[in-house]
Structure 1
Amino acid sequence: MLRGLGMAGLALALAVGVTSEGFAQSRSKAKKAKAQAKVEEKLPVLPNLPDPKGVFSESASIVDYRTGRVIWSKNGTKSMYPASTTKIMTGMLLVDSCQPDELITAPQDVQKVGEASLHLLPGEQLSARNMMWGIMLRSANDGCYAVACHISGTQEAFAELMNKRAKEIGCVNTHFRNPNGLPDNQHWTCSNDLAIMAREALKRPWFAETVRNWKHTIARSMNTKDVVLMSKNRILREDPTADGVKTGYTKAAGCTYVGSATRNGERFITSIMKSPHWAADHKKMMDWAFAAFEHKLIAKRGELVGKVTAGSTEVPVLAGRDLWVCVEKVNPAPYEVVIKADPKPETKVGDIIGEGQVIQGSFKQKFPVVASPELVQAMAPKPVLAVAKSSATWMIAGGAALLGVAGVVAIRRRRPHHFG
């Protein structure tokens, strides 16, 4: 092709009386480069794992909202200062502890709180709903203090509640000392945990509705002219698919950010800690997540998810909820479904009889296992040994049903291609 283009260029040069062969060659190279660029534009771009050197943050994670799987992280369990992303936990506990119209009174010492932005006055009352707007949009440290005292009596007691909830939802390296994220060397979390907190909080409609907005007007009993609240989260204004959640900054923490976006029914969460370019990091991570991952439905609620032994009979058991996995679009990692069930003679159709797990490497996603009509029928004539004492296994591999051993149900896929 190069030769052909070179000859064509030479002929053209001769035709117009140009004797410089170098000029003709440079023109042919330019044409070739332009043609190649057009070809490359049409080639499919395969997703690649983000190079950690291309993500500026010291610590960062991407979590699948549907399943909770951490699909990528950089120093994901490293202890970091969260700054105002702490307020994700505070907001979640506010939703769990208060009614939206419940009045919250600012404590007498509220003005001692550093970097207060809602400018609460002692005795001022705001509804829990308006206090939530203040916390999540204006990042009100004084509002967080008022919430902590309202729910737990003191900031210290509220911090204990925060730590308790963090453990309950699966956080492994989090320790809170205050509700707002003001500097404290005993106040830390990690990017994995922060994304887990955001995922849990976003399950609550009140919280989710608040953090997807960047501007709101509230009603208050004092400071009645200071009612328009605006978020510093510019992603909410720049990306129409963004739906949360919180920015943060202190000198010690640097810029922190937890973001959420939903595109074509898929949703991912990013957590970014100590980044000089948090918005660029979020965009790069989020674009990659949507390009590289997809969801596969294992079973809908009430559908067959495996089989267990009831007496001497293999009988199906059902999924207690829709069961999904988040997998790579290219070379998906293997996963397996493990079922532990303990039906009783009195078990009825639809009763929860055990727990299942979807296992993807170190990630485990739990789901309830329920009794099928076949299981109840098989157990009806006489007592049956609990499944936990049996050795029945049901496997699905490449779409074919196979009998196995070890008292579990396994669903396997092709071996993964491990990215960086």
Structure 2
Amino acid sequence: MAEQERNTDKGKMTVLKIKRRIAALILICCTVYVTGLSGMKTQMREVQAETKEPENLYAQSAVLMDADSGRILFSKNGQQERAMASTTKIMTCILALEYGGLDDKMSVSAYAASQPQVHLGAVKGEEFYLRDLLYSLMLESHNDSAVIIAENVGKSVEGFADMMNAKAKELGCKNTYFITPNGLDASDEKGSHHTTAEDLARIMKYCIMDSPEKDMFLEVTRTSNYQFTDCSGKHSYSCTNHNAFLQMMKGALSGKTGFTGDAGYCYVGSLKDKGRTFIVALLACGWPNNKSYKWADTKALMNYGLEHYEYRNIRQDVPTGTLKVYHGVDSQNPFEPETEIPLEVAGTAENWSILLRDDEKVNVNWEKKKNAEAPVGKGEKVGEVRYTLNGELLKSYDIVSGCSIPEKNAAWYIKTIFRLYFLQKV
């Protein structure tokens, strides 16, 4: 009896130990789970911190653009229309380079001579070479130089404004309207002189990347100091570049400042580093006495681009397969009702790289016809490959037929039957 009780007690102890071990195991699992979950949350927070977009910018409108593709990498009210002050002069400069000659003589009108400060101080009747006026325009931001250029290149300020608006439209600037060549606040029956941060960045991209005169544009806007005289040699002038950003960051490429009462402080600038070119455009970036706000915003946006965006090859091989063609000529199986032809993607390069953040992924989708009726020509489009990022189309390629297939018509049947049944017997 005592032995039986002892065995019972041992059994109870064993069960109790097992329960304790199970409880301990559950506790360990819960601890590991909670710790792991906490670790995961920490990692997520670290990733979010790593890709956190710039905050607390002073500018009321700001964008960061990839100058190679024109893709907007960051935008704060980027499509809001605002006055842009002397950042206007990048358009004046590039049009003067494209439509004028550097050694062209530019005469000064009374209207040009009457422009407010900041001005060169040109006098009615004087003449200057366009080359020299461009340095005056871009380094010192002289308002009279802008009008002299406009009146001589565009025949009038209004004529030059038409050229500016035509170029803006050509570049895809849908929310920009130019009235003056110098950016002074102005309005007419069509509206006020304005742009958007996105459009301003788009114009800068053209000036430094796409224009046939981009090299001269960069030469002018990167010059620190410049001296010149009027065409007669009687009056001497000196210009100093006021784009302080050129000395602020390694790789600073070009830029233009601006200020008016309506616009506030504005800036558009560019930077190149390790094959990447970024453009920053800022509008309404403070008013006096906050002249330095534009430099803080520019550096913040440029550093964001430099730290988070790298080139990645996104090209993918697409399994295009074949296309089933009905009633087409197949020399190997002449009387089969259908045949298949190979397909290929037209125009793809071996490598296609774009700037991407670590957390960005390009989606590649394709669609194509499953079948077609003959005839089908070689290179005929039967589908499309689409590369998209965040729902935005980056690029598309056509899926085309790799060979041609003629149609089986009455003449083909007669000729084929004659060859098979008569010529072979002969």
Same fold (TM over 0.5): yes
**Is the CA contact 1:69–1:326 (under 8 Å) kept in the aligned structure 2?**
no
**For residue 259 of structure 1, what is the aligned residue in structure 2?**
269
The 3 A distance-change label for structure 1 pair 274 and 321 is: farther
Q: Output the CA distance in 2 between the equivalents of 1:217 and 1:49.
A: 42
Is 2:360 the counterpart of 1:332? yes
Which of 290, 295, 312 is the aligned partner of 1:296?
312
**TM-score, normalised to structure 1's length?**
0.67
Amino acid at match of 1:104: M
SS at match of 1:148: helix
**For residue 4 of structure 2, what is the aligned residue in structure 1?**
none
SS at match of 1:200: helix
**Is the CA contact 1:134–1:143 (under 8 Å) kept in the aligned structure 2?**
yes
**For residue 80 of structure 1, what is the aligned residue in structure 2?**
82
Amino acid at match of 1:126: F
Q: Output the CA distance in 2 between the equivalents of 1:362 and 1:180.
A: 38
* Pairing of 1:362-377 with structure 2 (within 5 A): 363-365=392-394
Which of 337, 347, 362 is the aligned partner of 1:318?
347
Q: Output the CA distance in 1 between the equivalents of 2:178 and 2:218.
A: 22
SS at match of 1:228: strand
**For residue 50 of structure 2, what is the aligned residue in structure 1?**
46
**Is the CA contact 1:306–1:316 (under 8 Å) kept in the aligned structure 2?**
no
Which of 236, 246, 265 is the aligned partner of 2:246?
236
**Is the CA contact 2:377–2:403 (under 8 Å) kept in the aligned structure 1?**
no
Question: Structure 1: 5+ residue runs without aligned partners?
Answer: 1-42, 348-353, 384-420
Q: Which has the higher helix share?
A: 2
**For residue 117 of structure 1, what is the aligned residue in structure 2?**
119
Is 2:202 the counterpart of 1:196? yes
Which of 260, 266, 281 is the aligned partner of 2:297?
281
Question: Structure 2: 5+ residue runs without aligned partners?
Answer: 1-45, 287-292, 326-340, 369-375, 408-426
Max Rg structure:
2
Deviation at 1:325, TM superposition (A): 2.0
Deviation at 1:293, TM superposition (A): 1.1
Q: Output the CA distance in 2 between the equivalents of 1:123 and 1:323.
A: 55
Deviation at 1:320, TM superposition (A): 7.3
**For residue 29 of structure 1, what is the aligned residue in structure 2?**
none
Q: Output the CA distance in 1 between the equivalents of 2:107 and 2:198.
A: 34
**Is the CA contact 1:67–1:324 (under 8 Å) kept in the aligned structure 2?**
no
SS at match of 1:109: helix
Aligned residue pairs: how many? 324
SS at match of 1:378: coil
RMSD: 3.5
Q: Deviations over 1:341-395 (max 9, x none)?
A: xxx9698xxxxxx99875434655568x799xxx79724x759xxxxxxxxxxxx
**Is the CA contact 1:305–1:319 (under 8 Å) kept in the aligned structure 2?**
no
The 3 A distance-change label for structure 1 pair 226 and 98 is: same
* Pairing of 1:134-283 with structure 2 (within 5 A): 134-185=136-187, 186-203=192-209, 204-221=214-231, 225-276=235-286, 277-283=293-299
Q: Deviations over 1:111-137 (max 9, x none)?
A: 122225222223333333222211111
Q: Deviations over 1:214-245 (max 9, x none)?
A: 32233432575543211221111232321111
The 3 A distance-change label for structure 1 pair 142 and 334 is: same
The 3 A distance-change label for structure 1 pair 335 and 172 is: farther
Q: Output the CA distance in 2 between the equivalents of 1:335 and 1:284.
A: 29
Tell me the percent identity.
Answer: 26
**Is the CA contact 1:308–1:316 (under 8 Å) kept in the aligned structure 2?**
no
Q: Output the CA distance in 2 between the equivalents of 1:326 and 1:337.
A: 20
SS at match of 1:153: coil
The 3 A distance-change label for structure 1 pair 339 and 242 is: farther
**Is the CA contact 1:67–1:365 (under 8 Å) kept in the aligned structure 2?**
no
The 3 A distance-change label for structure 1 pair 199 and 322 is: farther
Q: Output the CA distance in 2 between the equivalents of 1:339 and 1:125.
A: 62
SS at match of 1:314: strand
Q: Deviations over 1:23-60 (max 9, x none)?
A: xxxxxxxxxxxxxxxxxxxx997242112xx2011111
**Is the CA contact 1:76–1:192 (under 8 Å) kept in the aligned structure 2?**
yes
SS at match of 1:249: strand
**Is the CA contact 1:138–1:229 (under 8 Å) kept in the aligned structure 2?**
yes
Q: Output the CA distance in 2 between the equivalents of 1:378 and 1:228.
A: 66
Deviation at 1:153, TM superposition (A): 1.3
**Is the CA contact 2:342–2:401 (under 8 Å) kept in the aligned structure 1?**
no
The 3 A distance-change label for structure 1 pair 357 and 316 is: closer
Deviation at 1:165, TM superposition (A): 1.1
Q: Output the CA distance in 1 between the equivalents of 2:199 and 2:304.
A: 21
SS at match of 2:161: helix
